[in-house]
């Protein structure tokens, strides 16, 4: 019952709020433009999987948004710099990715500030987009993020790649997936299957029909300098 109520609340908030406050799907593209989709990756950077994914994204000539965990960004600063250098976007995914139900609003918001501070130190900018772990928030955390001038970025398509056990599973999902204009796709670059997803969608010509964009393009909000 609580899960159902959360889903209803999420739908109501999404319908009432502009995407620069709460994003699950972008608005319709202009008539003369290709429909858009946003590729997003959570829980990195990972020393093996993130570089492999960046190589694939570069080969496919597409941009993406990486929602990074602060403690891992601190361990792999060169990967953070590479993400930005290659034209991708950073988002905040807290410092430790702690379990939402066991994390107080105060601790959650402090982790967000700490990650912002690190990313500013590494790149010179502060991301406006923030994705809470598991997409779970209560009202106090949500309003606290808005006071920090954050866009809460969720998603509209989730293959649950963190549960997959083989590249064949991801190829099957990526081959069958039919995007809608403005979709926000959720993958994880601390697992090996995200690169397989991008390769599969590229080979099927999906990026010729749809324009991959960053979250800031869908929300109209750039990183803070």
- Residue 49 in domain: yes
The answer to whether the beta carbons of residues 159 and 170 sit under 8 Å apart is yes
**Helix axes of 139-147 and 105-123: crossing angle, nearest 10 degrees:** 30
Per annotation, catalytic residue among 42, 43, 72, 189: 42
Respond yes or no: is residue 42 known to be catalytic. Answer: yes
Answer whether residue 7 is part of any domain.
no
pLDDT in tens, the chain (225 residues): 334 335 545 666 666 788 889 999 998 888 778 999 999 999 999 999 999 999 999 999 999 999 999 999 999 999 999 999 999 999 999 999 999 999 999 999 999 999 999 999 999 999 999 999 999 999 999 999 999 999 999 999 999 999 999 999 999 999 999 999 999 999 999 999 999 999 999 999 999 999 999 999 999 887 775
| Distant-in-sequence, close-in-space partners of 111: CB < 8 Å, separation ≥ 6 | 70, 94, 95, 96, 98, 103
Number of H helices, E strands in the chain: 10, 8
Mode of pairing for the β-strands spanning 36-44 and 183-188: parallel
Task: List residues bridging with 44 in a β-sheet.
Answer: 68
Task: Report yes or no on 165 lying in a domain.
Answer: yes
- Asked if residue 43 lies in contact with residue 20, where contact means CB atoms within 8 angstroms, the answer is no
CATH of the domain at 172: 3.20.20.370
The answer as to whether 71 is a domain residue is yes
> Angle at CA 156, nearest 5°, toward 206 and 116?
105
- Expressed as residue numbers, the domain containing 58 is 34-219
Cα dihedral 144, 97, 165, 211 in deg (nearest 10): 40
> Which of 183, 188, 189, 191 is an active site residue?
188
169 within a domain of the structure (yes/no): yes
Confidence at residue 3, expressed as pLDDT on a 0 to 100 scale? 45
Look at the chain and report how many structural domains it folds into.
1
Asked whether residue 26 is assigned to any structural domain, the reply reads: no
Confirm whether 43 is a catalytic residue: no
Closest CA to 199 of 71, 62, 78: 62
Assess if residue 123 is contained within a domain: yes
């Amino acid at each position: 019952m609580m899960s159902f109520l959360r889903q209803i609340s999420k739908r109501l908030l999404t319908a009432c709020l502009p995407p620069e406050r709460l994003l699950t799907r972008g608005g319709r593209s202009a008539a003369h433009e290709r429909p858009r989709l946003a590729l997003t990756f959570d829980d990195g950077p990972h020393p093996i999987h993130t570089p492999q994914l960046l190589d694939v994204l570069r080969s496919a000539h597409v941009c993406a948004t990486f929602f990074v965990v602060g403690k891992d960004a601190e361990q792999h600063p060169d990967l953070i710099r590479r993400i930005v250098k290659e034209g991708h976007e950073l988002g905040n995914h807290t410092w430790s990715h702690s379990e939402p139900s066991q994390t107080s609003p105060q601790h959650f918001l402090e982790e967000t500030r700490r990650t912002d501070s690190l990313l500013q130190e590494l790149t010179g900018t502060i991301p406006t987009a923030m994705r809470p772990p598991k997409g779970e928030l209560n009202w106090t955390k949500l309003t606290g993020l808005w006071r920090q001038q954050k866009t809460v970025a969720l998603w509209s398509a989730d293959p649950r790649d963190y549960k997959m056990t083989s590249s064949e599973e991801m190829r099957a999902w990526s081959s069958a997936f039919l995007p809608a204009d403005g979709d926000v796709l959720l993958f994880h670059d601390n697992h090996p299957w995200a690169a397989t997803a991008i390769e599969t969608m590229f080979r099927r010509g999906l990026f010729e029909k749809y324009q991959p964009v960053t979250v800031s393009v869908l929300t109209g909000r750039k990183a803070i300098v």
